[in-house]
């Protein structure tokens, strides 16, 4: 079953779970309120049996859809991981299972074969009028993300000092449109930097490790 179908099933089962759970909670509140207002309201055997049966049906239905929703969510996550592994490759690790090949070495597995990274296009050597600036950027220690999605600087020589406390390798590239202007070395559990001569404009900074930018590891650099 493809990812789209799994997402649709997850939404349907999740909706049913929340609706039935809401009905169950609402019925419990209603029975409690009526019972407090009129303790003899449920003295009839037929009413009591009917309420018990209704509660049992709602509990069973809610539990069933909760299990289905959980399974659909897990299947959807597995499908997304398989798609990512198909894109960048998968490598077994010592702890068991597989991870995307670019992250394997940091998580206890062999680095695996990989294609040489594309060389960054050199940043302009021509000096840009302006004071420039030195910016601070860090990687999230537990997620594939930077700690900020926005940086700003004056025009001129702009340097991004990058700290990566995670065991997974990251870097920082600066680009304008489809043109990559400069890129830092890859680093894990350490620091590095990247410098470019930047005139006023909008730029993007991002991690060039396969799959990381797609996971959201990028931001906007405004130079003005």
The domain locations on the chain are 3-88, 133-223
Query: In this predicted structure, what is the pLDDT of residue 123?
Result: 46
Q: In this structure, what DSSP letter does residue 105 have?
A: G
Query: In this predicted structure, what is the pLDDT of residue 88?
Result: 59
* Nearest by Cα to 192 from 171, 169, 208: 171
- Could you give the count of Cα atoms lying within 13 Å of 47 in the half-sphere of its Cβ? 8
Q: In this structure, what DSSP letter does residue 100 have?
A: E
Q: Is the dihedral of CA 218, 97, 85, 1 positive or negative?
A: negative
φ/ψ (deg, to 5) at 9: -65, -40
User: Is CATH 3.40.50.1980 the classification given to domain 133-223?
Assistant: no
Strands 173-176 and 179-183 turn out to be antiparallel
Phi/psi-derived region of residue 200, left when phi > 0, alpha when psi is between -120 and 50, beta in every other case: beta
Asked if 173 contacts 184 with a C-beta cutoff of 8 angstroms, the reply is: yes
Query: In this predicted structure, what is the pLDDT of residue 37?
Result: 81
Query: In this predicted structure, what is the pLDDT of residue 61?
Result: 84
> How far, CA to CA in Å, does 139 sit from each of 116, 129, 172?
23, 30, 10
- Identify any residues that bridge with 110 across adjacent strands, giving them in sequence order: none
Query: In this predicted structure, what is the pLDDT of residue 140?
Result: 95
Q: Average pLDDT for consecutive 10-residue bins of the chain (224 residues)?
A: 60 77 86 82 80 87 81 73 64 57 54 47 65 96 95 97 96 95 96 97 96 95 96
């Amino acid at each position: 079953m493809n990812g789209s179908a799994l997402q649709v099933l997850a939404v349907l089962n999740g909706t049913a779970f929340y609706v039935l759970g809401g009905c169950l909670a609402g019925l419990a509140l209603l029975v409690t309120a009526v019972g407090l207002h009129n303790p003899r309201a449920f003295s009839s055997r037929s009413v009591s049996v009917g309420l018990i049966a209704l509660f049992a049906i709602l509990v069973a239905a809610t539990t069933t859809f909760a299990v289905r929703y959980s399974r659909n969510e897990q299947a959807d996550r597995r499908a997304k991981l398989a798609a990512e592994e198909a894109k960048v490759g998968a490598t077994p690790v010592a702890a068991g299972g597989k991870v995307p090949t670019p992250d394997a070495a940091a998580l206890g597995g062999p680095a695996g074969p990989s294609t040489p990274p594309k060389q960054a296009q050199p940043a302009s050597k021509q000096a840009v009028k302006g004071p420039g600036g030195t910016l601070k950027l860090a990687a999230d220690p537990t997620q594939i993300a930077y700690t900020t999605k926005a940086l700003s600087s004056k025009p001129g020589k702009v340097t991004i000092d990058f700290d990566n406390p995670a065991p997974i390798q990251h870097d920082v590239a600066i680009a304008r449109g489809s043109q990559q202007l400069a890129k830092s070395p890859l680093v894990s559990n350490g620091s590095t930097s990247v410098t470019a001569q930047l005139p006023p404009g909008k730029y993007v900074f991002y991690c060039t490790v396969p799959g990381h930018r797609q996971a959201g590891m990028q931001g906007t650099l405004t130079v003005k």
